[in-house]
């Protein structure tokens, strides 16, 4: 196999072993663990000869994914999170497909299990992507993910930059199953706050980066106003109030051009 599977994990102990077992044992796997779990690293590397675990300070998905790409020694990279289980022969099929189209692509985007995708189709509009296959050289040439994003919209930004560089992006009939969340469920509340903060910060940053500050402000200001109203409405519901407070805070910091500083308190 001339492919490295790159997984970014954070509190993903409940899924990571199942995902590794789902992949053929002759495939290189690099796990960038943003929770810096030394026991997890020790256990995985003692069990599997084809897996390397890198303990990494949590600076976001994009930074970790870029690190994995730089460490990989293969021509191709497959990015997939611990909660996304690709079909058993996915890497073999992707390798074969890339040869068939003579590496004339920027990204091959896998299809979710529920999608009715029967043949390869070209993607011409920006959208979010979850599991995707790329050529390492091409990925690094456009500098990978923008590491200013901590979470959310870094995939949209990557797609947009590949399209702007006239790189073909294809949706392919190779499937993955999305379990909707790779973290241990005991951390649901702090991670939910983290998601709400960064969803808003990243949305503004993405729109500002590609369309300018005032366009981003116009697009997000109604969301900010609704969040403020919800904070008032849910005064007696601390959990919901905190979620909307996180949203408002994320946008407020983005409006002030502050970096994405918020981190989950675990």
> pLDDT tens, 199-243?
999 999 999 999 999 999 999 999 999 999 999 999 999 999 999
Please tell me the distance from the alpha carbon of residue 236 to that of residue 192, in angstroms, as a whole number: 19
Q: What's the pLDDT score for residue 13?
A: 85
Alpha carbons within 13 angstroms on the beta-carbon side of residue 64 total 26
- Considering the chain, what percentage of its residues have pLDDT values greater than 70? 97
Distance CA 4, CA 106 (A): 16
pLDDT for 136: 98
Q: Taking a C-beta distance cutoff of 8 angstroms, is the pair 220, 202 a contact? A: no
Full-model pTM: 0.93
pLDDT (average), residues 31-41: 95
pLDDT tens readout for residues 53-110: 999 999 999 999 999 999 999 999 999 999 999 998 999 999 999 999 999 999 999 9
């Amino acid at each position: 196999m001339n492919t490295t599977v790159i997984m970014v994990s954070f509190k993903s102990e409940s899924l990571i072993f199942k995902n590794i077992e789902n992949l053929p044992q002759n495939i290189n796997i690099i796990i960038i663990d943003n929770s810096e779990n030394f026991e997890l690293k020790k256990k995985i590397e003692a069990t599997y000869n084809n897996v390397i675990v890198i303990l990494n300070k949590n600076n976001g998905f994009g930074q970790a994914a870029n690190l994995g790409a730089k460490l990989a020694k293969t021509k191709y990279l497959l990015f997939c999170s611990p909660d996304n289980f690709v079909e058993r022969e996915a890497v073999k099929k992707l390798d074969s497909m890339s040869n068939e189209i003579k590496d004339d692509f920027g990204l091959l985007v896998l299809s979710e299990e529920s999608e009715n995708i029967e043949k390869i189709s070209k993607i011409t509009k920006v959208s979010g992507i979850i599991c995707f296959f790329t050529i390492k050289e091409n990925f690094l040439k456009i500098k990978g993910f923008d590491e200013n994003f901590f979470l959310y919209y870094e995939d949209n930004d990557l797609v947009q930059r590949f399209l702007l560089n006239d790189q073909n992006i294809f949706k392919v009939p190779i499937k993955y199953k999305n379990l909707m969340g790779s973290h241990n469920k005991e951390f649901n509340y702090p991670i939910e706050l983290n998601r709400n903060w960064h969803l808003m910060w990243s949305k503004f940053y993405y729109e500002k980066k590609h369309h300018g500050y005032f366009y981003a402000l116009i697009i997000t200001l109604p969301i900010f106003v609704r969040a403020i109203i919800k904070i008032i409405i849910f005064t007696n519901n601390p959990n919901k109030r905190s979620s909307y407070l996180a949203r408002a805070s994320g946008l407020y910091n983005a409006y002030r051009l502050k970096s994405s500083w918020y981190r989950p308190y675990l």
